[in-house]
Structure 1
Amino acid sequence: MAMRRTAAAVAAAAVAVLTLLAAGAGTHDAAAAAAPKTAKTAKTEQACGVLAPGASTAAEKAVVAACEQIGVWYTWGGGHGPQPGPTYGQVDPSDPDSAHDPERLGFDCSGLVRYAYHRAAGGDPLPGNAHHQFHSPQVQQRFTAAQGTAPLLPGDFLAWGSGGSVHHIAIYLGAGKMVEARESGTRITAGDVRPGGDYAGAVRIAPATAPGTFSTWGTDVWTHREPSTGSPRVHRFPGPTTVRVECQKHAQPVTAEGYTNDAWSYLPEYGSWITNIYIKGAAWLDGVPTCP
């Protein structure tokens, strides 16, 4: 009897141990599932890279550079410092989820695009927000929303917006996938393209400088509806920006930094004029026709 009781006790103890181990494993699994994912974990769970052939070398490099940021925080205004790269964000008054963005180092959607093409092509070919990038003078080809992803190549930009205003931009990977910095409270991810809603279409860019492309200089430089500082302001360039000049004409003289110039350039992507005094180059730009 004593031997039986001992064996029974041992068996019961073994069952208890196994039960505790199983419970511990379940607790561990639950904790692991609830734990926030690090950048390293996110990278192992998401496929991101050049997923189709045919893209330019620069576009493929941009894809790789963007994919290296998988797991980095989205942060509103992130990536828009003096040089391309991650920055601490700002609070978006319209989005409560952005409350911690000033504490997070990362990118917003256009900051990621800017950084990716900086890494791919050098310089700073795509400053500005998503709207500016979608209408950049570097755009080589446009695709409508109705065309879907069939004609797209890795490195193309996907855009969302309505009424001519773009509020979000992402980089196409191929195979119906994209990489994006989507919204506050999330990290940069790769996933399926979202063709519904206010998807506005896509563009393909050529980051090399094209004829008629110049750089502005100075900070807080405004364009105007007409070639005159007295006409309504249209767009502000917070810093040096690549622009495409369609034509130029003589109009109101403007003086700045000790120079006076009466030439103004028309910027078709912005539908407005800028005094040539804020465009790098000769007072009368070489190779640019005179406006009619």
Structure 2
Amino acid sequence: MAALLAVLAALAVFFSGAQQAHAAPACGVLSSGAAPQAESAVKAACGLIGTPYSWGGGHGSQPGPSYGACDASNGAPNDCHVRGLDCSGMVRYAYYLAVGSDVINGVTTTQWPSSRAVARYYRSDGTAPLLPGDLVFFGNTPSTIHHVAIYLGQGYIAEAPYSGGYVQVAALSSHGDYYGAIRLYGPSGGSTPPPSGGGTYWVDTFANAAVYGSPTSTVSTGTLYQGTNYVFCKAWGREIASGSSFNHWWLKTDPDVGPGGQWVSAFYLSRWGNDVAKDNNGTVIPDC
């Protein structure tokens, strides 16, 4: 019996040590290199640890906790009685506390293409380029992005996770569908998108269009649906033509079908002519 108790005690110590080894670290700025505003946003998010999750919480006229919506179809049957934050409401409030301005309002699918982004990363870039304060998004396509969190560094995030939960620290890898990330302030603290097209430009397309991995590729990687879409920048590539209409410009975008960061021909723009690449306001889309 004594031997059995000794074995059980040893096993208890072993599993306790294993659990501690995989425990999330204390919330904070876990790596260097981020802008002061981004580090302040991380600290603000850490100050929200323990805040209740509330579906739709944090989307009032001013950032901050609010009563959410009761929506059983989204796993939130009681959230109209819970004052708190959902995932996008949490990142909105953290940046508001950090910089004193409502810089990232909206829900996940509108935060991702924000024109305030000074840098943008995709799943294919891995997580090595990420810095504390980056907003990390989860989903398989731009239209199905369903979750956002604030990156802390070293593979960890601060997030408002789900109805019934609380703002917490978690491993980024605990979500299996990391899509990409945006950065709102450069390491120098600047918030203006670079000339390489870190902003977002809205364009109308007149038909569904095939997208490609580069402006010269001939192998389609997905589809951008007809309608109003966002693009980031342009590059010169192979000609797309039909009758007397042609265009050599290609626009970097996130398609409706296929991986993000693909290219669509400016031939499909509804409002402009041959070899023109402008947004709906007539602004020339910058070079990538």
Q: Report the TM-score range of the alignment, normalised by the length of the smaller protein.
A: 0.5 to 0.7
2:113 matches 1:113:
no
Q: TM-score, normalised by structure 2?
A: 0.57
Q: Distance in 2 between matches of 1:57 and 1:125?
A: 15
Q: Partner letter of residue 65 of structure 1?
A: A
Question: 1:144-155 counterparts in 2 under 5 A?
Answer: 144-155=122-133
Q: Distance in 2 between matches of 1:179 and 1:130?
A: 15
- How much does 1:93 deviate? 3.5
What SS does structure 1 have at the residue aligned with 2:73? Answer: coil
Q: Distance in 2 between matches of 1:76 and 1:233?
A: 29
Residue 134 of structure 2: aligned partner: 156
Residue 80 of structure 1: aligned partner: 59
| Aligned counterpart in structure 1 of residue 29 of structure 2, from 28, 36, 50 | 50
Relative to total residues, which structure has the larger helix share, 1 or 2? 1
- How much does 1:289 deviate? 5.2
Q: Distance in 2 between matches of 1:182 and 1:75?
A: 10
RMSD: 4.0
When residues 213 and 170 of structure 1 are mapped into structure 2, their CA distance, relative to the original with a 3 A threshold, is: closer
- How much does 1:150 deviate? 1.7
Q: Residue 148 of structure 1 contacts residue 195 of structure 1 at CA under 8 Å; is this kept in 2?
A: no
What SS does structure 2 have at the residue aligned with 1:117? Answer: helix
Q: Residue 77 of structure 1 contacts residue 108 of structure 1 at CA under 8 Å; is this kept in 2?
A: yes
Q: Partner letter of residue 131 of structure 1?
A: T
Q: Encode CA deviations 1:191-220: one digit per residue, 9 max, x unaligned.
A: 211265221122212373559999xxxxxx
Q: Encode CA deviations 1:200-253: one digit per residue, 9 max, x unaligned.
A: 122212373559999xxxxxxxx9879xxxxx9969xxxxxxx9999xxxxxxx
Residue 110 of structure 2: aligned partner: 132
Q: Partner letter of residue 47 of structure 1?
A: A
Residue 142 of structure 1: aligned partner: 120
| Aligned counterpart in structure 2 of residue 198 of structure 1, from 172, 177, 202 | 177
Q: Distance in 2 between matches of 1:199 and 1:269?
A: 15
When residues 111 and 146 of structure 1 are mapped into structure 2, their CA distance, relative to the original with a 3 A threshold, is: same
- How much does 1:117 deviate? 1.1
Residue 210 of structure 2: aligned partner: none
Q: Distance in 2 between matches of 1:141 and 1:245?
A: 11
Q: Residue 42 of structure 2 contacts residue 132 of structure 2 at CA under 8 Å; is this kept in 1?
A: yes
Q: Distance in 2 between matches of 1:143 and 1:245?
A: 12
Residue 89 of structure 1: aligned partner: 68
Q: Residue 137 of structure 1 contacts residue 244 of structure 1 at CA under 8 Å; is this kept in 2?
A: no
- How much does 1:147 deviate? 3.2
Q: Encode CA deviations 1:19-47: one digit per residue, 9 max, x unaligned.
A: xxxxxxxxxxxxxxxxxxxxxxxxxx961
Q: Distance in 2 between matches of 1:46 and 1:89?
A: 29
Q: Distance in 1 between matches of 2:198 and 2:141?
A: 27
Q: Distance in 1 between matches of 2:63 and 2:73?
A: 25
When residues 85 and 224 of structure 1 are mapped into structure 2, their CA distance, relative to the original with a 3 A threshold, is: farther
Q: Residue 73 of structure 1 contacts residue 186 of structure 1 at CA under 8 Å; is this kept in 2?
A: yes
Q: TM-score, normalised by structure 1?
A: 0.57
Q: Distance in 2 between matches of 1:244 and 1:80?
A: 26
Residue 180 of structure 1: aligned partner: 159
What SS does structure 2 have at the residue aligned with 1:128? Answer: coil
Q: Distance in 1 between matches of 2:121 and 2:231?
A: 20
Q: In percent, how many aligned pairs have the same letter? A: 42
Q: Partner letter of residue 131 of structure 2?
A: L
What SS does structure 1 have at the residue aligned with 2:80? Answer: helix
Unpaired segments ≥5 residues, structure 2: 1-23, 207-225, 234-252, 256-268, 270-280
Greater Cα radius of gyration, structure 1 or 2: 1
Residue 208 of structure 1: aligned partner: 191
Q: Encode CA deviations 1:75-133: one digit per residue, 9 max, x unaligned.
A: 0001000011111110123134x122111111111001111111122221111101111
